[in-house]
């Protein structure tokens, strides 16, 4: 295997996750800004069933690109660009999404060529997988259920739309008066017979109390004449379900295709780097990672017990002699995103997808990162390490982004991806206004994005420094957490001083506890704002 050529052939991750996703956001912004055609009785805003189905590739494009499904995401970007040219009369939207579709097409061609180069650089060894392909898994069941759900949503749309058409055929046209505007988006009108009803028009700011609004009325059923009731969201929901089913079915087919003939195979070293995640290495070079559904037990425990691990982690004892890492035969599509099978002693133990190596994939069990912090700096307890000015500025920007996503979502409620972006901004912003570490007389509190860990000093094994970051090992299993870049350069020494001071008092029986960070609850409040405001 030509490792350097294989790695150099890959398309950089930022091309898709930054370039194309950022381009999609810009294209959507220009499209939404230009779509200001008012709804009138002469030219009502009639629901478009075809465009509601086109919303599926529109929303799928950034999500697929963010989750590494490059070719499928690019295909959805090109598809929506073509549909927008046909269905959308806005020139600005046509240009914006046309350019984005062109960029997606270029990246797709680049990716296809890149995968061919990676496949060639992986060598020429071919093997045939033993036995029969595994039984069809849970993905097949999920795909079938999604198809059934999608069919039911299409039926529901047809029934609902037929009901609306019957009401329209029997309705009479009357003039209603605007009597109240609630929450800036809910317009209440009163009909000549005294009946009151509420609408949520596309441009509620254009209505004032006392305005006359033409409506269609059939008994208690009332509909605005210039904005007919839109139930095409049923089609969007059903289309998304069917699209997911096709995605799952395609992945299952690619997995089973590994057994249809000889496939390329390479023998690599396998290093477990987390629960059900394995780092593949070739001649000391990191190649890729794979995720499995279960722990394959490829590596023997390096330490006899937790106490030995703690002594080694603190630098008080030399690391034990490294055993030779386990080797696995990796066969299949030898490129990033490819489906592969893992073979041990001639048997397929798992199938997975080749993923890029991330900085967080540190092999703690294979080598000790950084340098141990051994000296202590006295500090008055309790003591907290707060984020620096840079992270607080990032927090302000993220909060503004979350507020912008909420405002945009109110104007365009169908774009669920804006809500997802807003939630992520809120979660990231809250962590930038929290302490990064908090020390007291009995424990150290570690704040992460989702969880807050309280680690008694007796359960903290030690601290190692890797550049501006600290790595804390704790608990009976030697779990390791890496802090962000800390503004306090003496934080490690202060931690070790507080640990040494506390161990003199000895608080036996205390355990590591974990609870949800307050950012999760604030994120739920943000979701509530999206749903109810």
pLDDT per residue as tens digits for the range 222-237? 999 999 988 999 999 9
Give DSSP secondary structure letters for 452-463.
EEEEEGGGEEEE
Secondary structure tally for the chain: helices H, strands E = 13, 21
SS3 145: helix
Identify the band that residue 331 occupies on the pLDDT scale cut at 50, 70 and 90. very high
> Residue 371 above 90 pLDDT?
no
Q: Work out the average pLDDT over 61-67.
A: 93
Which tens digit of pLDDT belongs to each residue from 146-200?
A: 999 999 999 999 999 999 999 999 999 999 999 999 877 889 999 998 999 999 8
3-state secondary structure of 40: coil
**First vs last C-alpha separation in the chain:** 57
pLDDT score at 408: 83
What is the C-alpha separation between 256 and 141, in angstroms, rounded?
A: 15
Structure tokens of 451? 């969880």
Count of beta carbons in the 10 Å neighbourhood of residue 252: 18
Cα torsion angle, 166, 167, 170, 171, sign: negative
Quick one: which of 347, 301, 306 has its CA closest to 322?
A: 301
Confidence band of 365 (pLDDT split at 50, 70, 90) = very low
Q: Which residue has the tokens 């299949």?
A: 332
Nearest one of 410, 379, 282, 370 to 334, comparing CA atoms: 282
CA proximity to 373, closest of 493, 466, 468:
493
Residues 354-363, mean pLDDT to the nearest whole number = 70
Per-residue pLDDT of 395-404, as tens digits, reads: 999 999 988 8
Three-state secondary structure call for residue 463: strand
Residues 233 and 414: beta-carbon distance below 8 Å:
yes
pTM higher than 0.85, yes or no?
no
Residues composing the chain = 533
* Predicted pLDDT at 363: 46
- Phi, psi for residue 343 in degrees, rounded to 5: -115, 135
Q: Whole-angstrom Cα distance, residue 412 to residue 321?
A: 60
Rg (CA), the chain: 29
How, if at all, do strands 347-353 and 371-372 pair?
Answer: unpaired
With cut-offs at 50, 70 and 90, classify the pLDDT of residue 58: very high
Q: What is the model's pLDDT at position 301?
A: 66
364 pLDDT higher than 50? no
Region 115-137: mean pLDDT is 85
CA distance 41 to 189: 17
Identify the burial level of 222 via C-beta atoms within 10 angstroms of its C-beta, where 0-12 means exposed, 13-18 middle and 19 or more buried. Answer: buried
Range of lowest pLDDT (4-13, 210-219, 255-264, 287-296)? 287-296
User: What phi and psi values does residue 194 have, to the nearest 5 degrees?
Assistant: 90, -5
The 3-state secondary structure of 407-449 reads HHHHHCCCCHHHHHHHHHHHHHHHHCCCCCEEECCCEEEEECC
What pLDDT does 136 receive?
65
Report the distance separating Cα 459 and Cα 41, nearest Å. 71
Is residue 410 pLDDT above 80, yes or no? no
Cα separation, 388 vs 405, in Å, equals: 26
Band of residue 366 on the pLDDT scale cut at 50, 70, 90: very low
Tokens of 490: 């003496």
Q: Best-predicted range by mean pLDDT among 98-102, 137-141, 266-270, 417-421? A: 98-102
Is 274's pLDDT higher than 70?
Answer: no
Q: Which residues contact 32 (CB under 8 A, 6 or more apart)?
A: 408, 411, 412
Sign of CA dihedral 351, 357, 360, 365: positive
Cβ(308)–Cβ(317) below 8 Å: yes
Q: Residue 327: beta bridge partners? A: 269
Q: Is the pLDDT of residue 340 over 70?
A: yes
∠ Cα 435 440 441 (to 5°): 170
- Answer whether residue 137 shows pLDDT above 70: no
Take residue 385 and report the two structure tokens written for it: 């390490």
> Are residues 226 and 39 in contact, defined by beta-carbon separation less than 8 angstroms?
yes
Of these ranges, 159-168, 287-296, 378-387, 523-532, the one predicted with the greatest mean pLDDT is 159-168
pLDDT, residue 506, reads 63
Over residues 280-305, mean pLDDT: 80
- With both helix axes pointing from N to C terminus, report the angle between 416-431 and 389-411 in degrees, rounded to the nearest 10: 160
pLDDT in tens, 18-33: 999 999 999 998 888 7
The pLDDT of residue 507 is above 70: no
Task: Kindly state the percentage of the chain with pLDDT values over 90.
Answer: 42
Q: Mean of the pLDDT values across residues 442-466? A: 88
How far is Cα 197 from Cα 186, in angstroms, rounded to an integer? 10
How far apart are the C-alpha atoms of 352 and 431, rounded to whole Å? Answer: 33
Instruction: Give the pLDDT score at 123.
Output: 87
User: What pairs with residue 469 in β-bridges?
Assistant: 466
Q: Take residue 151 and report the two structure tokens written for it.
A: 């069919």
Average pLDDT, the chain: 87
Q: Which two tokens stand for residue 389?
A: 């000015």
Q: How far apart are CA 469 and CA 479, in angstroms?
A: 16
pLDDT at 103 over 90: yes
């Amino acid at each position: 295997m030509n490792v350097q050529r294989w790695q150099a052939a890959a398309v950089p991750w930022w091309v898709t996750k930054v370039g194309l996703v950022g381009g999609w956001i810009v294209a959507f912004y220009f499209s939404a800004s230009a779509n200001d055609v008012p709804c009138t009785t002469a030219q009502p805003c009639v629901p478009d069933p075809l465009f509601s189905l086109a919303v599926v590739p529109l929303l799928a494009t950034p999500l697929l690109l963010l989750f590494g499904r490059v070719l499928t995401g690019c295909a959805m970007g090109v598809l929506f660009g073509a549909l927008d040219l046909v269905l959308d009369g806005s020139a600005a939207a046509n240009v914006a999404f046309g350019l984005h579709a062109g960029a997606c097409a270029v990246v797709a061609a680049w990716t296809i060529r890149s995968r061919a180069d990676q496949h060639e650089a992986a060598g020429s060894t071919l093997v045939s997988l033993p036995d029969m392909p595994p039984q069809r898994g849970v993905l097949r069941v999920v795909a079938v259920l999604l198809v059934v759900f999608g069919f039911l949503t299409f039926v529901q749309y047809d029934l609902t739309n037929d009901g609306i058409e019957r009401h329209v055929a029997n309705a009479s046209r009357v003039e209603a008066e605007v009597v109240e505007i609630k929450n800036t988006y809910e317009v209440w009108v009163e009909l000549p017979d005294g009946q009151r009803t509420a609408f949520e028009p596309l441009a509620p700011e254009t209505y004032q109390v006392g305005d006359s609004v033409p409506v269609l009325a059939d008994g208690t059923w009332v509909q605005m004449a210039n904005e007919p009731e839109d139930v095409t969201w049923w089609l969007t929901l059903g289309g998304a379900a069917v699209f997911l089913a096709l995605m799952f079915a395609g992945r299952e087919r690619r997995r089973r295709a590994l057994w249809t003939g000889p496939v390329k195979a390479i023998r690599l070293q396998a290093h477990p780097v987390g629960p059900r995640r394995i780092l593949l290495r070739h001649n000391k070079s990191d190649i890729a990672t794979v995720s499995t559904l279960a722990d394959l037990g490829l590596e023997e425990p390096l330490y006899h017990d937790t106490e030995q691990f703690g002594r080694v982690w603190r630098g008080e004892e030399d690391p034990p002699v490294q055993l030779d890492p386990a080797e696995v035969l990796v066969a299949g599509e030898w490129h990033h995103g490819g489906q592969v099978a893992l073979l041990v002693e001639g048997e397929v133990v798992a199938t997975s997808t080749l993923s890029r190596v991330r900085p967080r994939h540190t092999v703690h069990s294979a080598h000790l990162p950084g340098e141990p912090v051994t000296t202590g700096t006295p500090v008055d307890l309790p003591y907290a390490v707060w984020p620096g000015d840079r992270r607080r500025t990032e927090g302000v920007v993220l909060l503004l982004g979350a507020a912008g996503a909420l405002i945009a979502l109110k104007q365009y409620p169908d774009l669920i991806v804006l809500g997802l972006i807003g939630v992520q901004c809120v979660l990231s912003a809250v962590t930038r206004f929290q302490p990064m570490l908090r020390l007291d007389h009995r424990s150290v509190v570690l704040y992460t994005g989702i969880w807050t860990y309280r680690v008694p000093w007796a359960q903290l094994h030690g601290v190692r420094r890797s550049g501006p970051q600290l790595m804390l090992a704790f608990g009976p299993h030697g779990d390791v957490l890496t802090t962000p870049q800390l503004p306090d350069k003496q934080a490690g020494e202060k931690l070790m001083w507080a640990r040494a001071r506390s161990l003199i008092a000895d608080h036996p029986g205390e355990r590591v506890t974990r609870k949800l960070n307050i950012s999760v609850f604030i994120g739920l409040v943000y979701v509530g704002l999206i749903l109810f405001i």
